[in-house]
Amino acid sequence: MSNTVISVKNLKKYYRVHQKDPGLIGSINSFLNRKYKDVKAVDGISFQIEEGELIGFIGPNGAGKTTTLKVLSGLLYPNGGETQVLGLEPFKRQKQFQINISLIMGQKNQLWWDLPPMDSFILNKEIYEIGKQEFKDTIEKLSRMLEVGDILATPVRKLSLGQRMKCELIAALLHSPKVLFLDEPTIGLDVVAQQNMRDFLKEYNRQFQATIILTSHYMGDVEKLCKRVVIINEGKIIYDGSLEKIINKYAPYKMIKVDFKENIDLKKIEEFGRAERYSGNHVEFRVAKDEISKKTAKLLSEFEVADITIEDPAIEEIIRQIFEQ
């Protein structure tokens, strides 16, 4: 039996923005006759998320992602529509709501800069009224999963960005929230730190059945973590469904990457497909999925091949096609 944790119906959030012409004359006119326009950050979106789902919420800058998360976490009051998280209305900020959700923003800090992370954890312990033994067990489990047990007594300002983000996660998860809103949690991290963060979120979701909404400009985050994606653009949802289905719909092809043993004339291999990249002995083809076996076998039989790989197209390319269409 499904258990809907997040329900959004026709959600709207508009901002009234002051308009001013440039220059001194514009400033004077603006002072005497102020003009405004409404910006539709979120324009009537609807979706539902079940318990334990890990959803990718993606779109370009200004699409409405962060605004939606702020409404769902109770930081913003909507202009219209209905929102419920765990059966409660977020903007009312009831205690039962606040102790069961957590918002993590990659560009915002909640740790005290000059104090060790443990001091911030102890403060959160008191705020959320966490028992002494539960606090100890949670710190031990999360620090072990994130491999940060040896830095909890080091001032935050002396930690690397990756270490600090891990400690930010611990601070946000101390009270074992049932719902996580993650806004760009891997922004600014190096490749290794990004992968560690993804591994942790995947394991946390599996162990605790937490419901997670993730926004990210790193499509690797979405591809590795999310089976379902919600794509938003200009305040409206343009896709809500399986990541696999959208890949099949917008990318019914694979990339064949071939390294030949010697430089090859491009004209000799044009019959295998349109070359996306060519550099002497290296060629990359876009080939329909149902022709992969035939084209690969023909390549190997007619040419001396040093190496060949077959890959799915990058998820970034697929999302770009969606926005263009």
Task: Compute the distance between CA of residue 305 and CA of residue 281 in angstroms, rounded to an integer.
Answer: 9
Residue 26 belongs to some domain of the structure: no
The domain boundary, picked from 224, 248, 272, lies at 248
Same domain, 214 and 72: yes
CATH number for the domain harbouring residue 124: 3.40.50.300
pLDDT the model gives residue 187: 78
Q: Which domain holds residue 299?
A: 251-324
Residue 91 belongs to some domain of the structure: yes
Tens digit of pLDDT at every position of the chain (325 positions): 458 999 999 999 998 877 777 777 767 777 777 777 788 899 999 999 999 999 999 888 888 999 999 999 999 999 999 999 999 999 999 999 999 999 988 767 889 989 999 999 999 999 999 999 999 999 998 998 888 889 999 999 999 888 888 898 899 999 999 999 998 888 777 788 788 888 889 988 998 899 999 998 777 788 889 999 999 988 999 899 998 888 777 777 888 888 888 888 777 777 777 777 888 788 888 888 888 888 888 888 888 888 888 877 777 777 777 777 6
Same domain, 244 and 256: no
Total number of domains in the chain: 2
Same domain, 222 and 269: no
Please state whether beta strands 253-260 and 305-311 pair in parallel, antiparallel, or not at all (unpaired). antiparallel
Report the 10 Å Cβ neighbour count for 68.
Answer: 30
Task: Compute the distance between CA of residue 144 and CA of residue 213 in angstroms, rounded to an integer.
Answer: 24
pLDDT the model gives residue 23: 76
pLDDT the model gives residue 249: 79
